[in-house]
Amino acid sequence: MSWPTAPLGELVRTYGGGTPKKSNLDYFGGSIPWVTPKDMKARTVLGSEVTLTAAGLENSSARLVPANSVLLVTRSGVLKHTLPVGVSQVPVAMNQDMKALVPLDPLDAGYLAHLLAAWAPRILRWVRATTADNFPITRLQQLEVPLPPLDEQRRIARVLDGADALRAKRGAAISTLEDLGESCFVDVFGDPQTGNGRWRIGRIGDLLESATYGTSAKAGPTGDIPVLRMGNLTASGRIDLTDLKYLDMTPRELERYSIRPGDILFNRTNSADLVGKTALYRNTERVTFAGYLVRLRVTSEHRPEYLAAFLNTAYAKQRLRGMCKSIVGMANINAKELQHVPIPLPPVTLQQTFAGAIAHLEIMREKAQAHLDHLDVLFASLQHRAFAGEL
């Protein structure tokens, strides 16, 4: 089915955001939602972590946009992988990393939000890698929007909302399984924040066979061996293999920098919020690692699952960030400092019990992830049919 089209810029009013002076506490804590990229976690935006007062709104370039505005992240590091977009359910203000698209007749906000999400692969190719990754809103405004009748737009939005809700439920189940890992740690070993006095306190170095820095060679789009970089470690403690770079290595280099199942990767240099990311490598594919990472290999008397889980507790993350040294805007923890961090030394039998529980959770998570991947494929097909007039 062929529908008329019009440039997006002719179908919306576009508004930017701003930030009040953060040193003035009178500007914050009011009743006005102030949306930032951190709040863009779902298609429906109900509020924000941080709020503004009327004075904060008046003394910034932010402005209040009406409910049913389409909110879009246009400047953020997350634009390397995704395009956060949602519809506000209440009037909101935004920071400067956001844009609001207020639809004009005959355009429905829900329909537009789904269309922007479908356009995400194209839009993300425009992202300019600068201090804050961004894309030009003017290019977005030039895109041609297919315009079925308003009732049909709303029907399409309802159908896609329903399919998207299934994906969101599966994603929430995966998040719950990830949270269970830390709960399991506390159940087995106690709260590391308070300690339980059951075991001797040692140092992380007591558990290690080695702590090795990665290669300093520059990786690229081609090569024989994948190289894991700091972006391949997620904040939740997993390894993401979707964006890899490669290197050619000599047999000696490959032996030195290879990662084997059970190795732990520690992100020693990053922003203050992300330094200390830690992930256990469970895959069998041969990969190597870059210089901003440290490979931790535990001795046979300990289990890597225990150390990786400890480093991912809120207690350990807070302690590590307190140790950081800042250099040109980046935080750093070297391997020697890491090895001196105190850690309880429970018996290996208890570490093995914990490792077994984590393995079971990992199997459940992999099944849930495979189901979500299948739902993603089906949803992409549904999107394509919807905007081609075949739904």
Residue 48 placed within a domain:
yes
Rounded distance between C-alpha atoms, residue 126 and residue 139, angstroms: 9
Buried b / exposed e across 151-181, counting CB within 10 Å, b at 16+? ebbebbbeebeebbeeebebbebbeebbebb
Task: Report the pLDDT value the prediction gives residue 81, as an integer from 0 to 100.
Answer: 82
Report if residue 194 sits inside a domain.
no
**CA–CA dist 30, 126 (Å, integer):** 36
- Asked whether residue 277 is assigned to any structural domain, the reply reads yes
Which tens digit of pLDDT belongs to each residue from 81-128? 899 999 999 999 999 999 999 999 899 999 999 999 999 999 999 998
136 with 53, same domain? yes
d(CA 72, CA 83) in angstroms, rounded, equals 8
Same domain, 238 and 333: yes
Q: Which residues 6+ apart lie within 8 Å of 238 measured at CB?
A: 178, 279
Q: Is residue 164 part of a domain?
A: yes
| Judgement on whether residues 111 and 66 belong to the same structural domain of the protein | yes
pLDDT value of residue 125:
93
Whether 165 and 96 share a structural domain: no
Provide the token pair at 316: 């350990």
Rounded-to-integer distance, Cα 22 and Cα 230, Å: 30
List the Cα angle 175/369/245 in 5-degree steps.
100
Cα dihedral across residues 156, 162, 165, 166: positive or negative: negative
- Assigned domain for 195 exists: no
pTM for the model stands at 0.79
Q: Which two tokens stand for residue 364?
A: 């459940």
Q: Same domain for 340 and 206?
A: yes
Q: State the total domains in the chain.
A: 3
Per-residue model confidence (pLDDT) at position 344: 92
**Whether residue 19 is found in the same domain as residue 83:** yes
Q: 108 and 24, same structural domain?
A: yes
b/e 219-240 (16+ beta carbons within 10 angstroms → b): beeebebbbbbbbbbeeebbbe
Q: Which of 1-10, 23-32, 111-120 has the lowest mean pLDDT?
A: 1-10
* Same domain flag for 100 and 156: no
**Whole-number average pLDDT of the chain:** 93
Domain that holds residue 183: 148-189+347-391
18 touches 95 (CB < 8 A): yes
> Are 60 and 112 within one domain?
yes
Q: Is the pLDDT of residue 23 over 80?
A: yes
Of 49, 48, 65, 55, the closest CA to residue 20 belongs to 55
Specify the DSSP element, H or E, that contains 330: strand 330-332
Same domain membership, residue 228 and residue 165? no
Dump pLDDT digits (tens) for 358-370.
999 999 999 999 9
CATH code for position 19: 3.90.220.20
Q: What is the 3-state secondary structure (H, E, C) of 74-110?
A: CECHHHHCCCCEEEECCCEEECCCEEEEEECCCCCHH
CATH number at residue 373: 1.10.287.1120
Looking at residue 45, what is its pLDDT? 97
Q: Give the residue from 108, 128, 143 where a domain finishes.
A: 143
Please tell me whether residues 157 and 42 are part of one structural domain.
Answer: no
Same domain, 226 and 112: no
